């Protein structure tokens, strides 16, 4: 896309607010291409393939993982960004990085680690994604982390408590002033929601946790189900499900593009600073689709995320997380050498909270199967240590 075809309020890479460590510009790529490429080459990105979205990795090969989730989010967000003449590459970088700090075992893992870390400043996966790209990745001679641009980091940090915002200087500012990030970051945020609402529905059906008949309680689903039924009366099974899901995604994406374009036209932002200065996001659904999306979300919460089979998985996951944390925190010498050294160093700087953070970094970086393996090596007498 040429510069002149981009909107005036785009996050433009020639006007980036820069990197934490100054680097010369890339020769053949834009700044945001470089960010995206660094994210794809990171260890944390490769681990996403073995991290749970809703279903623990060993439940089946067809379920979404954090990696396929991140790719679906990026694909949806790129369509939206391109339609709105925004920066497609920046959006892609943000989406591919948005879950890099996620713990093993999905939200159950994050909640368990947050609980363990409560006395030591808590654990937020958004903040951990930022910590991963800023500090934890070890790839470059000149700097720690990936040294990404402000714009990518701004997009990764979707939410953040006020307490943490105060310690983040320029990135924390918008949470304190209650302002917005770039439109690209706003798009990545909503695309995340569109992706998981639809793929969790698909995965929930595949797992036999929910059925088409009960999904008809969700108005958006019922409407699309009827439309598909009229067009293809004999369609059934997986093709019927996929035809419905793809139309649902299309429906909400089109609504999002049209509604956002209208709001932007009304607001007439001169540049990205005008976007950032706003108190409310400009990217969003129409009232009707927002309400429909919320209904779908509620249905998934009640029927999928709280299904007894999912709760059994999350219960086990919480037990594994807590056991690992308690053991490593009480006896850091049980950690592999480099993490033990990090724990000692961080404890020297910040006391028990430092030690706890080093343990949280180690556990958050684990894949599902690695966490289960560590649990067995610590607690199963028959396993090698």
Piece of the chain touching Mg ion by CB under 5 A; list 35-43, 187-195, 264-272, 292-300:
187-195
- Both tokens of 105, joined, read 């075992």
Q: Which of 254, 260, 242, 245 lies closest to 197 in space, CA to CA?
A: 245
The helix or strand, by DSSP H or E, that contains position 158, with its residue range, turns out to be none
Nearer to Mg ion, 88 or 99 (CB): 99
Say if CB 255 and CB 289 are below 8 A apart.
Answer: yes
Phi, psi of 129 (to 5 degrees): -60, -45
Piece of the chain touching Mg ion by CB under 5 A; list 26-34, 189-197, 285-293, 321-329:
189-197
Identify residues 96-115 at the interface with Mg ion (CB under 5 A): 99
- Least CB distance to Mg ion at residue 161 (A): 19
- Least CB distance to Mg ion at residue 125 (A): 9
Residues 6+ apart with CB under 8 A from 317: 52, 56, 104, 105, 106, 108, 109, 112
Nearer to Mg ion, 13 or 99 (CB): 99
Angle between helices 66-83 and 237-267 (to 10 degrees): 40
Nearer to Mg ion, 199 or 276 (CB): 199
Nearer to Mg ion, 199 or 357 (CB): 199
Number of residues that bind Mg ion (CB under 5 A): 2
Say if CB 299 and CB 215 are below 8 A apart.
Answer: yes
Distance CA 181, CA 188 (A): 11
Pattern 196-225, binding to Mg ion, x per CB under 5 A? ------------------------------
Distance CA 260, CA 296 (A): 21
Nearer to Mg ion, 99 or 292 (CB): 99
Residues 152/154/156/158 CA torsion (nearest 10 deg): -150
- Least CB distance to Mg ion at residue 66 (A): 8
Nearer to Mg ion, 88 or 192 (CB): 192
Piece of the chain touching Mg ion by CB under 5 A; list 34-42, 186-194, 259-267, 371-379:
186-194
Distance CA 365, CA 371 (A): 9
Other beta carbons less than 10 A from residue 17's beta carbon: 12
Nearer to Mg ion, 13 or 192 (CB): 192
The string of DSSP letters for 257-290 reads HHHHHHHHHHH---SHHHHHT-SS-S----HHHH
- Least CB distance to Mg ion at residue 68 (A): 11
Contact between 192 and Mg ion by CB under 5 A: the answer reads yes
Q: Is 279 left (phi over 0), alpha (psi -120 to 50) or beta?
A: alpha
Nearest residue to Mg ion on Cβ basis? 192
Piece of the chain touching Mg ion by CB under 5 A; list 188-196, 199-207, 258-266, 369-377:
188-196
- Least CB distance to Mg ion at residue 98 (A): 6
Residue that the structure tokens 């028990």 belong to: 352
Distance CA 159, CA 180 (A): 11
- Least CB distance to Mg ion at residue 231 (A): 32
Say if CB 19 and CB 154 are below 8 A apart.
Answer: no
Nearer to Mg ion, 192 or 368 (CB): 192
- Least CB distance to Mg ion at residue 367 (A): 16
Nearer to Mg ion, 99 or 368 (CB): 99
Nearer to Mg ion, 106 or 332 (CB): 106
Pattern 56-95, binding to Mg ion, x per CB under 5 A? ----------------------------------------
Q: Which of 242, 290, 277, 284 lies closest to 259 in space, CA to CA?
A: 284
- Least CB distance to Mg ion at residue 47 (A): 15
- Least CB distance to Mg ion at residue 95 (A): 8
Burial of 378 (0-12, 13-18, 19+ CB in 10 A): middle
- Least CB distance to Mg ion at residue 143 (A): 27
Piece of the chain touching Mg ion by CB under 5 A; list 191-199, 201-209, 233-241, 293-301:
191-199
Residues that bind Mg ion (CB under 5 A): 99, 192
């Amino acid at each position: 896309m040429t510069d002149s075809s981009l909107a005036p309020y785009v996050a433009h890479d020639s006007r980036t607010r820069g990197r934490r460590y100054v680097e010369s510009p890339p020769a053949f790529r834009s700044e945001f291409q470089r960010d995206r490429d660094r994210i794809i080459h990171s260890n944390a990105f490769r681990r996403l393939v073995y991290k749970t979205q809703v279903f623990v990795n060993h439940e089946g090969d067809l379920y979404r993982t954090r990696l396929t989730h991140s790719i679906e989010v990026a694909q949806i967000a790129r369509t939206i960004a391109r339609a709105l003449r925004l920066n497609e590459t920046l959006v892609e970088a943000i989406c591919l990085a948005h879950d890099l700090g996620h713990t093993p075992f999905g939200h159950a893992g994050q909640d368990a680690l947050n609980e363990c870390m409560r006395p030591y400043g808590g654990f937020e996966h958004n903040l951990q994604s930022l910590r991963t790209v800023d500090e934890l990745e070890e790839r470059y001679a000149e700097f720690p982390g990936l040294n990404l641009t402000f714009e990518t980091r701004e997009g990764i940090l979707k939410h953040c408590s006020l307490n943490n915002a105060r310690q983040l200087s320029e990135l924390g500012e918008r949470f304190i002033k209650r302002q917005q990030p770039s439109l690209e970051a706003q798009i990545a945020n909503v695309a995340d929601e569109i992706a998981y609402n639809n793929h969790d529905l698909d995965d929930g059906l595949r797992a036999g946790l929910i059925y088409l008949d009960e999904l008809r309680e969700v108005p958006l689903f019922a409407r699309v189900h009827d439309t598909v039924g009229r067009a293809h009366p004999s369609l059934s099974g997986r093709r019927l499900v996929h035809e419905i899901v793809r139309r649902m995604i299309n429906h909400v994406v089109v609504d999002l593009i049209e509604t956002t374009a209208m709001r932007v036209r009304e607001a007439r932002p001169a540049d990205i600073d005008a976007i950032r200065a706003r108190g409310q996001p400009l990217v969003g659904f129409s009232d009707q689709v927002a309400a429909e999306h919320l209904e779908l979300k509620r249905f998934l919460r009640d029927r999928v995320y709280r299904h007894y089979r999912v709760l059994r998985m999350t219960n086990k996951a919480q037990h594994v997380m807590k056991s690992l944390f308690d053991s490593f925190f009480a006896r850091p010498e049980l950690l592999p050498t480099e993490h033990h050294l990090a724990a000692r160093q961080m404890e020297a700087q910040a006391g028990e909270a430092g030690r706890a953070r080093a343990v949280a970094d180690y556990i958050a970086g684990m894949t599902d199967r690695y966490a289960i393996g560590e649990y067995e090596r610590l607690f199963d007498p028959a396993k090698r240590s």
